[in-house]
Chains A and B, each alone.
Chain A
């Protein structure tokens, strides 16, 4: 693994993933809700409706930066490289519009839906991953990657 993919961190990835899965399991078994971040964010801000109370949705969303901050205090400084502001704005617009139109993102479709063997989520995940691969391939081809 190390020789083949020098920048990979499979163990950290697995531990991080397990934490995400446990959090999603708490939402499902404890509250009867899908831990979908796009849906929770829309609900918390009032952009989206639904049976989940805005307070419950907001508590989950506020937990995300708090949890990341606590983890950063525990494991020390982390490498975070952001792209340029035009990439952040255009990427953000597409992510916001696309996740609402497609009823979910990486967490709702990719984690909760796939583990439920939901046909819609499996199709959505295949499509957004294929689209991500294609987009980055095009960015690489026209020299926009890392800009």
Chain B
């Protein structure tokens, strides 16, 4: 049951990435290109996604456990630290250079397999390097 729900959520998520244009690296770079022909579309994607999620957090506060069973497993760190800041800065740089963040890159495996695979392979390598160096 739980893997099926997860698969359906992934399907809807991937469809949203495609409809919203986030799977197009050129559009992502156009959003980040404040000094060029700025394309605000991604701001609408972010705003549109935050809307249902805000409602979901309100509903979550009234639930003792998730609807499909199990327990809530949510991040509870509150501390701002160097890792968060440097990690976010490095991620943002990669996002600008490649025009892709993890979700769209993986979604593009179905649409532009060659270049998407190159990016995803590099991304997994980057994750592996983190695990070997800074990971616990």
A positions within 8 Å CB-CB of B: 5-35, 37-38, 41-42, 45, 47-48, 50-53, 55-72, 75, 78-83, 85, 87-103, 105-107, 109-116, 118-120, 123-125, 127-137, 139-140, 145-146
Contact of B123 among A81, A85, A92 (CB under 8 A): A92
Contact A128 B49 (CB under 8 A): no
Residues on B lying within 8 angstroms of A by beta carbon are 2-27, 29-30, 32-57, 59-60, 63, 65-68, 70-75, 77-80, 83-103, 105-112, 115-116, 118-131, 134-135
For A89, list chain B residues within 8 Å (CB).
Answer: 118-119, 122
8 Å CB contact of A60 from B10, B78, B112, B129: B10
- Which of B12, B22, B33 is A145 in contact with, Cβ under 8 Å? B33
Q: Separation in Å of the A56 CB from the closest CB of chain B?
A: 5
Dominant secondary structure of chain B at its interface with chain A: helix
Complex contacts, A102 vs chain B, CB 8 Å: 83-88, 90-91
Given A16-B20, A22-B12, A95-B98, the answer on whether A128 and B6 have CB atoms closer than 8 Å is no
Q: How far, in whole Å, are A17 and B47 apart by their CA atoms in the complex?
A: 7
Known pairs A65-B14, A116-B57, A124-B88. 9 more at Cβ < 8 A?
Answer: A5-B37, A12-B19, A32-B73, A38-B102, A60-B10, A92-B98, A92-B105, A106-B102, A107-B102
Nearest 6 CB-CB pairings of A with B = A63-B10, A16-B20, A17-B48, A91-B98, A102-B87, A96-B126
**A13, A29, A94, A100: which contacts B131 (Cβ < 8 A)?**
A100
Chain B contacts for A113, CB-based, 8 A:
75
